[in-house]
Amino acid sequence: MVTAVAVLTLLGLALGFLLGYADKIFAVEENPIVKEVESMLPGTHCGQCGFPGCSGAAQAMVDGEAEVTCCPPGGRALAQQLAEKLGVDADLSGMASEPMTATIEESLCTGCCRCYRVCPTDAIMGANKQIHVVFADACTGCGKCVDACPEDCIGMHPEQETLDNWQWPKPAAA
């Protein structure tokens, strides 16, 4: 009886110390909140925030180097969630409420070719003195073309609601 108790106690103590030691030696230095923030981001690595992929942006946000509003595809909803998670105040005034895509006002486009040169995803097609057009499927809504357009004919609009992307709203809570 005494031997058994002693053996188990010693075993427990020894393993406990071993675990404690291993924890110190093999400790992985990683902020768990970075992982959480990364999982909240769209994961598309679009690079609009200016960081290499969503993991870089998550790290920067946690370190306070980036605003929570720096993710355009996530939109206002994501910025709010991130602000809540990180306990900061988000200035949402400059943000659209949902992901935007660029559209070219065809009556104003002069075919100057400036917008498609700056598009990071080649989502604009055009040729010299021909009307340019945006492929909404490839547009990430970064707004670079808006700045590049000398005619002010590019606007950012939320995606139009169609039968394909319409979805049931959340039921009112019971």
* Shortest Å distance, C-beta 164 to other proteins: 9
Q: Which of residues 51-90 bind other proteins (CB under 8 A)?
A: 73
Residue 139 or 154 with smaller CB distance to other proteins: 139
Residue 20 or 158 with smaller CB distance to other proteins: 158
d(CA 130, CA 127) in angstroms, rounded, equals 5
Q: Which residue has the tokens 């992982």?
A: 35
d(CA 62, CA 34) in angstroms, rounded, equals 6
Using CB under 8 A as the binding rule, whether residue 121 contacts other proteins is answered as: yes
* Shortest Å distance, C-beta 139 to other proteins: 8
Inter-residue contact 108 to 153 (CB < 8 Å)? yes
Among 25, 31, 43, 94, binds other proteins (CB under 8 A): 43
Using CB under 8 A as the binding rule, whether residue 97 contacts other proteins is answered as: no
d(CA 157, CA 166) in angstroms, rounded, equals 17
* Shortest Å distance, C-beta 111 to other proteins: 21
Part of the chain binding other proteins (CB under 8 A), chosen from 30-38, 56-64, 84-92, 133-141:
133-141
Inter-residue contact 145 to 115 (CB < 8 Å)? yes
Torsion of CA 149, 160, 69, 134, to 10 degrees: -30
Using CB under 8 A as the binding rule, whether residue 47 contacts other proteins is answered as: yes
Residue 93 or 128 with smaller CB distance to other proteins: 128
Among 122, 129, 130, 155, binds other proteins (CB under 8 A): 122
Q: Which residues here bind other proteins, judged by CB under 8 A?
A: 42-47, 73, 120-123, 137-138, 140, 161-163, 165-174
